[in-house]
Structure 1
Amino acid sequence: MNQIAVAGATGYIGGRLIPLLLEAGHDVTVLSRNSDKLRDVPWRKQVRVLEGDLADEAAAAELCNGADTVYYLVHSMSSNTSGSEDFGRMERLCARNLSQAAREGGVKRLVYLSGLHPQGELSRHLSSRKEVGEILMASGTPTVVLQAGLVIGSGSASFEMVRHLTDVLPVMPAPKWVLNKIQPIAVTDALHYLVGAADLPPEINRTFDIGGPEVLTYAEMMKVYADAGGFRRPVVLPLPVLTPWLAAQWVNLVTPVPRSLAIPLVESLQHDCVAREKDIDAYIPEPEGGLTPYRRAVELALHKIEADTVETTWATAHALSAPAEPLPSDPEWAGLTVFTDERTQETKARPEDVWKVVEGIGGENGYYSLPFAWTVRGWMDKVAGGAGLVRGRRSPNHLQLNDTVDWWRVETLERGRLLRLRAEMLVPGRAWLEFEVTPSTQEGNKSGSTYRQRAIFFPRGLSGRLYWLGVLPFHGIIFKSMANRITAAAQQG
């Protein structure tokens, strides 16, 4: 068992590496600028948590104290919310502090994840990553610098750019360097090499290029993503007039990736990012079954989201262990776009009385809000070839899993507490309607209830986003009225 320290535990890679290190039997200490972000991660109680910043020499020394191996996975660009260009200066400071702390603390191995890059002039982002690696390798502590291409997995900023641009834009104007060569790597493969790097011989002090089995252009990556996600392939139009700065503003406008990340990432796409050597194979064998093809990496990033996102965006208490899946510590902009309408009401009605109304929703009982609007929407769906509202219910008062309720199907049923209905109407996306009833914790209403209602919509492409915007004004009326009338009906008994 090794004593391992990880700087950057709340980052995309750090949050996925730590459970693998624990699984391998290592004793792990982590450093985070904000330890609250680790509150809901499944491995929180298995690690020692230090709160601090590598810009602080004392924090760097505490992290390295007693550690055999230290992973440097922080990146000042990710916390550069102001858009300042000083992230390079901060990177140098943090790298020098860690170098000194590792040397004085007797650390046996440093491991750093950098980026693939060509020779010659680089973007600010890649130049900074390269410089950090050089500082660490000159520290006197044996250092492995793994230089990776775009990491493919939900939560990776580079992958999120691909995801949202492809989801939203059927036609994408892009800089001409969207045709440059890129060698993406699945997050599972990047983690494989990171875990293996801790056991390399002590004489190893160098960089290693790591990448997936394919070299693609950014345009090809978007088209393969579209195939894997079931979208129509976007038409990519390379335009020489789009400068990196203009392209970054466009990415920031169309995707939720913050401007502070979008600009340096887009600037980096001016370069071919392809592995120039595969020396790592002599020290760390490829994963069993070989490196993950790009399309498979995308499918891994999408699969769990498709299955479980409704539940995991409602509460982050679920342990998501697969590296390609989302984690509670991921940024809010990571993952599929989701629109919600949430209503919470306190009522003096008992929980069992509120539940009785909830379980009887739909069919002849209706939806407690603007019945004519529901009827018209049902006719429209039926004419378009959907289920409409004519299916009704099996029982007027009781539900079972998989029951139909008009154009809904009962997906989750925890009798007395939770009902989740999955939409089977024709919409450009996937939709749910969820009801939760719990005893009230509000002072003066101990015998009453808290009623929560949530409509969830995952849009599919541009049409899905336009659909949500089109119905949004009606949702404000319909769902507010639904919550008010359901709780009122429960109080009347």
Structure 2
Amino acid sequence: MSTPEDTTGPLCLVTGASGYIGGRLVPELLEAGYRVRCLARSPEKLRDHPWAGRVEVVRGDVTDERSLGEALRGTDIAYYLVHALGPGRRFEEPARRAARLCGPAARDGGVRRIVYLGGLTPAGVPEERLSPHLRSRAEVGRILLDSGVPTAVLRAAVILGSGSASFEMLRYLTERLPVMVAPRWVRTRIQPIAVRDVLRYLVGSAELPPDVNRTFDIGGPDVLTYRGLMQRYAAVAGLPRRLIVPVPVLTLRLSSLWIGLVTPVPAGIARPLADSLRHEVVCREHDLARYVPDPPGHPLGCDRALELALRQVREARVATRWSNAAVPGAPSDPLPTDPDWAGGTLYTDERERTVDATPQELWRVIEGIGGDNGWYSFPLAWAVRGWLDRLFGGVGLRRGRRDAHRLRVGDSLDFWRVEELAPGRLLRLRAEMRLPGLAWLEMYAEQDERGRTRYRQRALFHPHGLLGHAYWWSISPFHATVFGGMARNITRAAAGNAPGAAP
């Protein structure tokens, strides 16, 4: 547990603080004068956020009754921002169970309000006909409304903001495909909302009157089709008008695979997003404005929301991304730290080189790895591995980086995630590609006993079953090329002798 600075405002619990919305809501609450407590399964993911020293962080999970109850104790407002997003329907029961735990725990903890961000549902469509994810969002909202704690369920459709999954999907589809054969859902009407308006409504909902216990639809002023949204993006981005031809033959599976190939959003996440887009999601009321008045110029129009999101991307000022949240099915086990680890086989590949550069110069290269800068080794091999990962439903290489120069713990980095970061000294990445085991990659900037700069690199693999062992030995012949080339090119780049940072 970490302890924040002393403040006197009401205490807000934020679940999902490592996610896209939660990571942006925390500083907004602090700015509004609230104290903030964050519940996180992995508190270290929040360690490097700019606001980390101003909040209290507790370890726990919304599906664990004990830790959830402890986190809610003494809280005034609870923000429930935990969502599962993945293929199939396996997420529905955990989401239901967590919501049912939250209500009693909030009552016992003295919480005076729950605020939940859910999904906008179409008018007149029975709940059983909704997409699994919209149905789950609706069910969670209903459970919280019935909890006995005054609850505000804010229902949004497409959220437009730099780094959101919806915006990334829109951006890559529009920029990469001047002509596209598209699924039928591009003709569905939607009502997007800018992320800054979502945050404004979330913060304002903390002070709703105690007798308010209901859902609120939130959206921007524009209602348009997804095809119209792509054309608006093209205009804002200075691109020629796109030719978009909807066809009925693209099934949900095909369209999610299509999105997965063209955009950084993997098919497992694209599928529920696309599935939800088959429903018309338009606000039926704007009652929240009675309690949280809209300032002049708000809610933002679609063009303005797109302009702001695109500016943040181009200026590399993306605060959080959709990939901040854990990927469903991705490994989460920490690296075994005991050198005599007895948990089974742990294969390693270690490289070490002396560098004709300062440790600071070497660290700049290490921290800048991945994304557009590449991996300094056999680009074709990395590209093929990324494509294979996408083919089998993984994240592939297209997630890139949140920031071109700086990393923080919890950042996604292509098909890796930053597990540990000791600035100037150590970068440890945990693999999130599809593997028959767990894998890590460590890079160190050190000085040896003679004061020379030394680069040390370690790849580790903990196999699962016979397939895991077979996988390691099948790729071992390529390690000299891939890992050896990486160590060689990183040190060359640090010394200023490489032809360019990107391989």
Give the TM-score category using the shorter length.
0.5 to 0.7
Q: What is the match of residue 403 of structure 2? A: none
In structure 1, the gaps of 5 or more residues are 310-319, 334-343, 356-416, 418-438, 452-475
Aligned to 1:460: none
Are 2:182 and 1:174 aligned? Answer: yes
User: Retained in 2: the 8 A contact 1:252–1:259?
Assistant: yes
* Aligned twin of 2:233: 225
Contact 1:38–1:329, Cα closer than 8 Å, also in 2: no
Contact 1:41/1:328, CA 8 A, preserved across alignment: no
How far the C-alpha of 1:230 sits from its partner, in A, is: 2.4
Select which of 55, 60, 68 maps to 1:60. Answer: 68
The one-letter code matched in structure 1 to 2:252 is: P
User: Residue 233 of structure 1: CA displacement?
Assistant: 3.0
Structure 2: segments with no counterpart, 5+ residues: 1-8, 328-350, 363-423, 425-443, 457-483, 499-503
Partner of residue 202 from structure 1, selected from 199, 207, 210: 210
1:97 aligns with 2:97: no
Report the CA distance between 1:245 and its aligned residue: 2.2
Q: Which secondary structure does the structure 1 equivalent of 2:258 belong to?
A: helix
**Displacement after TM superposition at 1:262 (Å):** 1.1
Aligned-pair RMSD on alpha carbons? 3.4
Distance in 1 (CA, whole Å) between partners of 2:447 and 2:141 is 54
- Quote the Cα distance in structure 2 between the aligned partners of 1:41 and 1:93: 30
**1:183, CA displacement in angstroms?**
0.4
State the alpha-carbon separation in 2 of the partners of residues 288 and 483 from structure 1.
54
**Aligned: 1:284 with 2:292:** yes
SS at match of 1:75: coil
Closer, same or farther in 2 for the Cα pair 1:351/1:201, shift >3 Å? Answer: closer
Deviation at 1:85, TM superposition (A): 1.8
Quote the Cα distance in structure 1 between the aligned partners of 2:262 and 2:27: 34
Partner Cα distance (1:440, 1:28) in 2: 36
Quote how far apart the aligned CAs of 1:283 are.
1.2
User: In 2, Cα distance between the equivalents of 1:76 and 1:111?
Assistant: 17
Q: Does 1:270 align with 2:275?
A: no
| C-alpha distance in structure 1 between counterparts of 2:71 and 2:494, whole Å | 54
In the alignment, the residues of structure 2 paired with residue 14 and residue 486 of structure 1 have an alpha-carbon distance, to the nearest angstrom, of: 37
Equivalence for 2:248: 240
| Mapped contact 2:162–2:312 kept (Cα < 8 A) | no
Q: CA deviation at 1:232?
A: 2.8
Aligned to 2:387: none
Identity %: 47
Q: Counterparts of 1:351-430 in structure 2 under 5 Å?
A: 351=358
Please report the TM-score for the alignment, with normalisation by the length of structure 1: 0.66
Amino acid at match of 1:443: D
The yes-or-no answer on 1:33 pairing with 2:41 is yes
Relative to structure 1, the CA distance from residue 199 to residue 450 in structure 2 (aligned partners, 3 Å threshold; closer, same or farther) is: same
Structure 1 counterpart of 2:153: 145
Alignment partners' CA distance in 2, 1:112 and 1:233? 38
Any conservation in 1 of the 2:353–2:488 contact (CA below 8 Å)?
no
After superposition, give the CA deviation of every residue in 1:174-224 in whole Å (9 maximum; x if it has no partner): 112211100000000011100000000000000011100100111111111
Aligned partners of 1:41 and 1:327 also within 8 Å: no
Is 1:85 the counterpart of 2:89 in the alignment?
yes
Partner of 1:76: 84
Q: 1:274 to 1:56 in 2, by over 3 A?
A: same
Query: Residue 447 of structure 2 corresponds to which residue in structure 1?
Result: 442
Q: Over residues 239-298 of structure 1, what are the superposed CA-to-partner deviations in whole Å (9 max), with x where a residue is unaligned?
A: 011122221121122212122211111110111110011111211111343211111111
Shift of 1:347: 4.1
2:120 aligned with 1:116, yes or no? yes
CA contact (8 A) 2:197 2:298 kept: no
State how many pairs are aligned.
358
1:228: Cα distance to partner? 1.7
For the structure 1 residues 487 and 141, does the alpha-carbon distance in structure 2 shift closer, same or farther, using more than 3 Å as the test? closer
Q: Is residue 330 of structure 1 aligned with residue 338 of structure 2?
A: no
Counterpart-to-counterpart distance in 1, 2:298 and 2:228: 22
